[in-house]
């Protein structure tokens, strides 16, 4: 186990993508569990998916922050690709820890809208790195993705594996983030940790994710398409497990050390955060419809079989994602533990409250 060397109590923390799915849940967890923490959240509130969900997440944060004495929450609507904004924020607030979760997400969207990926995932992240260079932080934590593994045949995916064959622009930008962070860690001694997330799901999640899209279609009486004829496996990871992993990582910055040549070694790490237990997509969808019926989102006599269609694989997708999380367990004593049924039950209950 690594020793904690970053105390979050009394610190000023930047969370980009703060209105996003993972970002908003992280902010909520930090407000709940840290004393006298000041969190500055940045998000451009783009309409890649329903902005009402982002607004809902921000309202939840505001309500919580209002009840926690000592918690200071400031939200800034802005784009991390805006260099002047990022520099101004780092100058004004003097962040102790920066967590970059802002990114244009989605594999399929990157095929039709490549520009936004370059802007957010490359230029935006470069701006964060430059700001960390000019205004040093104790730790930079940033989102990578399981998509960097591309078409790797070896499973489970390990951070020791080569990741030189991205199959989408989204994956290429995430691999680029890791390379950029490594270079800045080496050149400017910036402690940085990248996190490769595996298929995150849960309440108030992203509507472009399969489980959310399936729910919308089933509710509307439309057919859902299950890719690769249902033979896809995904390492579905509940959002609370992801957030717990991020929080533990935030508190353990890579140590600044010199190598045998006397020059600094890059204080740089990368981890997988996944469930280490891939689920077949057909089983996943079956549990989802059971929980939607139990929550009252779908009627008890819903004819599920009539509403599903097995179709071939789509470009840019991979058949299996499966995380080797042994390094996370070794260094932080942590392993995601929320069962698929429990996680989908919470999603179904939230969906009922939000939409019905």
Could you please report the per-residue DSSP string of 8-28? -TT-EEEEETTTSHHHHHHHH
Q: For residue range 343-355, what is the model confidence (pLDDT) as tens digits?
A: 999 999 999 999 9
Nearest to 40 by CA among 60, 66, 64, 11: 11
**Apex CA 158: angle with CA 98 and CA 97, to 5°?**
10
Q: How far apart are CA 94 and CA 135, in angstroms?
A: 7
Q: What integer pLDDT is reported at residue 108 of this predicted model?
A: 82
159, part of any domain: yes
Tokens representing residue 61 in the block = 């944060």
DSSP assignment of 276-302, as one string?
Answer: SS-EEHHHHHHHHHHHHHHTTSS-TT-
283 lies in a domain?
A: no
Per the structure, the count of domains in the chain is 1
Rounded to an integer, the average pLDDT of 224-244 is 91
Q: Nearest CA to 121 among 106, 132, 139?
A: 106
Find how far residue 137's CA is from the centre of its chain. 21
- Per-residue pLDDT band for 232 (boundaries 50, 70, 90) equals confident
Residues in the chain: 356
Nearest to 311 by CA among 233, 226, 231: 226
pLDDT at 316: 66
Instruction: Answer whether residue 289 is part of any domain.
Output: no
Give the span between the Cα atoms of 149 and 170, in whole angstroms.
Answer: 12
**What are the distances in angstroms from CA 124 to CA 117, 227, 286?**
9, 32, 39
- Residue of 149, 170, 184, 351 marked catalytic: 170
In a domain, 178, yes or no: yes
pLDDT, tens digit, 9 for 90 and up, residues 151-209: 888 889 999 999 998 989 999 999 999 999 999 999 999 999 999 999 999 999 999 99
Whether 209 is in a domain gets the answer no
Based on the residue annotation, tell me whether 170 is a catalytic residue of this protein.
yes
Burial of 315 (0-12, 13-18, 19+ CB in 10 A): exposed
pLDDT for position 277: 84
CATH of the domain at 120: 3.40.50.720
Residue 286 domain-assigned? no
Find tokens 């990582």 and name the residue.
Answer: 249
Structure tokens belonging to residue 94:
């003097």
Q: For residue 259, what are the domain limits?
A: 12-198+238-276+322-336
Contact call for residues 23 and 15 (beta carbons, < 8 A): yes
Report yes or no on 225 lying in a domain.
Answer: no
pLDDT, mean of residues 298-327: 87
Average pLDDT over residues 70-87: 97
Q: Look-up: residue for tokens 């070694």?
A: 265
Nearest alpha carbon to residue 56 among 14, 15, 28: 28
As a whole-number percent, the residues of the chain with pLDDT over 70 amount to 100
Rounded distance, CA 88 to CA 70, Å?
24
In a domain, 312, yes or no: no
Phi, psi of 12 (to 5 degrees): -110, 120
Q: With beta carbons less than 8 A apart as the criterion, state whether 245 and 334 touch.
A: yes
Q: Shortest CA distance to 188 belongs to which of 143, 141, 135?
A: 135
Residues 193 and 253 sit within 8 Å (Cβ to Cβ): yes
């Amino acid at each position: 186990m690594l020793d904690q060397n970053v105390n979050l109590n009394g610190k000023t923390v930047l969370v980009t993508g703060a209105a996003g799915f993972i970002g908003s849940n992280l902010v909520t967890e930090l407000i709940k569990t840290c004393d006298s923490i000041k969190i500055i959240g940045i998000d451009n509130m783009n309409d890649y998916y329903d902005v009402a969900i982002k607004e809902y997440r921000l309202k939840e944060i505001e309500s919580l922050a209002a009840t926690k004495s000592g918690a200071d929450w400031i939200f800034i609507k802005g784009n991390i690709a805006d260099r002047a904004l990022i520099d101004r924020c780092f100058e004004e607030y003097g962040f102790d820890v920066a967590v970059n979760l802002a990114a244009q997400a989605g594999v399929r969207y990157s095929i039709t809208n490549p520009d936004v990926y370059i802007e957010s995932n490359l230029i935006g992240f470069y701006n964060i790195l430059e700001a960390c260079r000019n205004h040093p932080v104790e730790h930079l934590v940033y989102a990578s993705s399981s998509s960097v593994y591309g078409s790797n045949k070896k499973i489970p995916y390990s951070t020791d594996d080569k990741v030189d064959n991205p199959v989408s622009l989204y994956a290429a930008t995430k691999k680029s983030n890791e390379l950029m962070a490594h270079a800045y860690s080496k050149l400017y001694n910036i402690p940085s940790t990248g996190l490769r997330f595996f298929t995150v799901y849960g309440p108030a999640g992203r509507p472009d994710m399969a489980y959310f899209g399936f729910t919308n279609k089933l509710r509307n009486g439309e057919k859902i398409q299950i890719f690769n004829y249902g033979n896809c496996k995904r390492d579905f990871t509940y959002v609370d497990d992801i957030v717990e992993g991020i929080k533990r990582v935030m508190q353990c910055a890579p140590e600044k050390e010199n190598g045998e040549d006397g020059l600094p070694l890059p204080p740089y790490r990368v981890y997988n955060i996944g469930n280490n237990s891939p689920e077949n997509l057909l089983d996943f969808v079956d549990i989802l419809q059971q929980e939607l019926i139990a929550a009252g989102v779908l009627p008890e006599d819903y004819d599920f079989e009539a509403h599903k269609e097995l179709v071939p694989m789509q470009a840019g997708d991979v058949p299996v994602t499966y995380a080797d999380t042994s390094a996370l367990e070794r260094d932080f004593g942590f392993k995601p533990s929320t069962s698929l049924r429990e996680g989908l039950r919470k999603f179904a209950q939230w969906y009922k409250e939000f939409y019905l």
